[in-house]
Every structure is written in structure tokens, then in C-alpha cells.
Amino acid sequence: MESLLGRYRNLTILVAVLFLQVLGLAVQVKRSPDAENTRLIRRWAVDLVTPFERGLVWAQNGGNNLWHNYFFLRGVRAENRQLKEQIEQMRLEQVRVREDATQAHRLQSLLAFKEQFIAKTVPAQVIGSSGSDLSWSIYIDKGSNDGIAQDMAVITSGGIVGKVLRVYPATSLVLMINDQSSGVGAMLEKSRLQGVARGTPNGELILDRVMSDEKVTPGENVLSSGGDQIFPKGLPVGTVSQVGPGREMFLSIKVKPTADLSRLEEVLVVTEKQERAPVAAESGGSVRAADILAQRLPSVPDKPPEVAGASPAGTAASGATGEAATGAGEKPQAHDAVPSLTGTGTTVEVVKKVTPKPATGDSATNGGARNETGSSPALRATSAASSPTPKSATSPTKPAMAPPKPSNNAPTPQPATEDSPH
């Protein structure tokens, strides 16, 4: 036996070494790929390599900064001018987007949706990769000392990058979305079809689990759906580049990642997310929407109590106000709440306030929305500015004779939600 082992010594050692590695591999696979059993030896390897990577990245950035910030400033003025023009265009765009966002938030708040917001991020620099062409992962220069934890989302301004897989004191390993073992809850922007964005062995990104009878067109944006509990909803994932028949009943959808995953330099790690119901207006405190609206509108003289109780005018006004409860540009609301408006003197009074100056601001819109939830007659009436208001209720020629009257003077029944709109 001894002579046999001596004769085949090389082969015996080969088999022994292979056996030990297979055994170790089996233990890891059986426990979990993310188990802590290999943490220490992985840390040794990372500590061996990453200091050099950090040093090189630091030197490279230093050189780049020196060159670009002190020597190579050609074209900076032209670029500055161009950027200013771009800012102007973006401001205009922002106004439109803000309106849309406000409307979306209002609708979400009506349905008591809760949304995840990115509350805090930590910028990090990419210092290296896993060193394998079969896995897509990167090392960043922030670790547990900087508040990084496992499964945190990693993003750039372009889109999502991946999630934190392993955390070391000064570095972290990030598994990118195009790695074959990663998966991101995703959805198509237009059709809202949901699927799973996952990587392929050669580093491509595909959108999986979309039924073959659905229509998906190249060029459509793919966003995170928030279903994975890692990436907040609505972050850009990529753009559909190719659609074809896939396995079984699903489509094969190739996605081009929005973030340039092969040339990442800086990333943001989402260290804190907040889950809260979206608010329609950002005005703080306990200011009521009706008060805001009252301040924005021209004042009208106080009406005697008997006029306020005039039911015919009130009915007419309410008939008009029921159609445009949320201000300019919005679709008419359902008429089922109209009966609650009729016969209230306050309604008439507020409609008269509205008429000279239409309420088009955010507060008015939002206030209207908030009051809808509580079916407040007063706020429904104020939004009549954008609707064909009955002549009997309008008095554009009336001069402003009194300071803005707080609506709480009126005996309007206010819902509980209005008192604390936020």
C-alpha cells in the first residue's frame, strides 16, 4: 500500500487537494452562499488586494483632478454657457413635472399609498472588481465603518447598479444587476408590466417573466418596481433593446442598463430609506388648505348672515363647483358629492371670492384634493374658478373691501383631515 502511494504520489496529492476543495465547496453550498463561514478568509484576500487598488485609484484621481482643474480648462466658458441654458430649460421642465408629481401624489394620498423614498446616500468610489470575467461585481471604498450594510441598494445618477453583497470594514463587494445571480424587481414604464431584471453569464441584462402575449417595444424604459425590497420604486434600470420569443410562455427581453456598468467610477449607496405616504403639498405646519386659498384670493366684504343662507344661490354655485374640484386643468369630479354642498351659505360666499382670480397654484389644487377626501363643501366651492361659474355666484366687478377672511369664520363643517393636511 505504501509503495503504491509512493508510486502514485503526485496523483494521490492531486486527488487529496481536489477532494478537500470539493468538500469545502459542498459545505458552503449546503449552508448558504451568503453565510458567514467564509467571511474571515475572504476578508484576508480583500485586505491583501484592496489597499493597492485604493492607492492606485487615489493617485489616478489626483492626477486627473490636477490636470482637469488646473491645466486643461479649455472650453470651460462655452460649457458653462451651455449648462446655464440647460438649467433654464430644465427649470421649465421642472414646473411641468412638479405639477404632474403633485397630481400623482394627491391621487396616491387618496388611496393611502405608501412609497419608499431615498432618505440618505453615501457616495463611494469603485476601486476594483472581482477579478473574474464570469462574475459581475465591483469593490467600493466604503464599508461597515461608513454605515454600509448588506443588501443596500447601489445606484448612480443614471440608474441602479446593484446591491451590497458583502461588507468589510473599509470596503464592500457590490453584486451588479447584470450578474447572473442577481435579480431586480422591474417594470416597464409605459405598460407597467412587471418582471424580473436579471443578468446573463456574459454580462447582459434581461427582463424575465413577461408573458409572451404582452406587447413590448424596443426603446421602452424599464424601472425598478420596488418589489424586491432593496431598490426603491421608480429608479431607472435600463431601456429595452431587443424583444423576441423566449422560453415557455415568456418573452426574451434584452435590456440595456441605464447606468454604464462597465465604466463605473463613483456610485451612491442608499443607506436609508423612508416609507411614508406621499404628501400632496409641501407646506408645513397645520395650515389648512382653506386658509391658504383665502390668502391667495382677493377679499370680498363680509356678507350678512341672511344672505349667506340664501339657498338658491348656494344651489347654483354648488352645481357649478361640483365639476371642477381640483382647480385648473383637471377633469371634473363626480357629482355624487354635490348634494352636500347645497344650501350652505358658506358655499356661496367662497364662490364669490374665487371668481375674480382663479386659483391655479399648487396650494389650491392640493387643498382641493385634501378636501375631497373629507368632502368639504367649502373647498369644492373654491375650485369653481376654473369652471363655468354661474353668473349669480360671481361678482368680478366687486371691489375688495375687506382683508382676507379666514375660512374658519364660516360655519362650514370641516373634516378632520383638513385640520391636519400633513
Partner 1 sequence: MRPLRNLQPKIVPISVPITYTSGEQIEVYRFSIPVTVGAPLLALFLQAFLPRRLPFFSIFDLPLLVTIFFAMARRNPISGLLTGAAIGLVQDMLGPYPIGIYGIAKTVVGYGASSLGAKLDVENVGARFLVTMGFYLVHAAVYFTVARGMVNLTLDWSWSRGILAGLANALLGVGLYFVLDKFKQRT
C-beta of 33 vs 403, nearer to partner 1: 33
C-beta of 195 vs 345, nearer to partner 1: 195
Tell me the three state secondary structure of residue 144: helix
Q: How far is the CB of 267 from partner 1 (least distance, A)?
A: 12
C-beta of 238 vs 345, nearer to partner 1: 238
C-beta of 29 vs 97, nearer to partner 1: 29
Tell me the three cell numbers of residue 63. 492626477
C-beta of 6 vs 403, nearer to partner 1: 6
- Residue written as cell 489616478? 60
C-alpha to C-alpha distance for 75 and 374, rounded to whole angstroms? 57
C-alpha to C-alpha distance for 134 and 202, rounded to whole angstroms? 7
Bridge partners, 223 (sequence order): 187, 236
Give 207's Cβ-side CA count (13 Å radius).
Answer: 36
C-alpha to C-alpha distance for 272 and 363, rounded to whole angstroms? 30
Bridge partners, 337 (sequence order): none
Q: How far is the CB of 181 from partner 1 (least distance, A)?
A: 7
C-beta of 197 vs 379, nearer to partner 1: 197
Q: What is the largest CA-CA distance in the chain?
A: 119
C-alpha to C-alpha distance for 198 and 177, rounded to whole angstroms? 6
Tell me the three state secondary structure of residue 68: helix
**Which of 194, 173, 154, 199 shows the shortest CA–CA distance to 38?**
173
Residue type, 194: Q
C-beta of 200 vs 217, nearer to partner 1: 200
Between the CA atoms of 64, 69, 74 and 76, what dihedral angle is there, to the nearest 10 degrees? 120
Give 253's Cβ-side CA count (13 Å radius).
Answer: 33
DSSP string, 165-179: EEE-SS-EEEEETTS
Q: How far is the CB of 60 from partner 1 (least distance, A)?
A: 8
Q: How far is the CB of 175 from partner 1 (least distance, A)?
A: 5
> What are the residues whose beta carbons fall under 8 Å from the beta carbon of 24, sequence distance 6 or more?
none
C-beta of 206 vs 369, nearer to partner 1: 206
Report in angstroms the alpha-carbon separations of 248 from 183, 207, 273, 396: 19, 15, 37, 67
Q: How far is the CB of 55 from partner 1 (least distance, A)?
A: 10
Q: How far is the CB of 1 from partner 1 (least distance, A)?
A: 20
Binding site for partner 1 (CB under 8 A): 9-10, 13-14, 17-18, 21-22, 24-26, 28-29, 33, 38, 41-42, 44-46, 48-49, 52-53, 56, 126-135, 137-139, 165-166, 173, 175, 179-181, 200-202, 262-264
Phi and psi based region of residue 219 (left: phi greater than 0; alpha: psi -120 to 50; beta: remaining) = left
C-beta of 126 vs 155, nearer to partner 1: 126
Q: How far is the CB of 214 from partner 1 (least distance, A)?
A: 24
Tell me the three state secondary structure of residue 287: coil
C-beta of 42 vs 68, nearer to partner 1: 42
User: Is residue 96 within 8 Å of residue 270, measured between CB atoms?
Assistant: no
Bridge partners, 267 (sequence order): 124
- How many other C-beta atoms lie within 10 A of the C-beta of residue 218? 12
Q: How far is the CB of 53 from partner 1 (least distance, A)?
A: 5
Q: How far is the CB of 242 from partner 1 (least distance, A)?
A: 17
C-beta of 5 vs 29, nearer to partner 1: 29
Tell me the three cell numbers of residue 374. 373629507
Q: How far is the CB of 99 from partner 1 (least distance, A)?
A: 41
Q: How far is the CB of 82 from partner 1 (least distance, A)?
A: 28
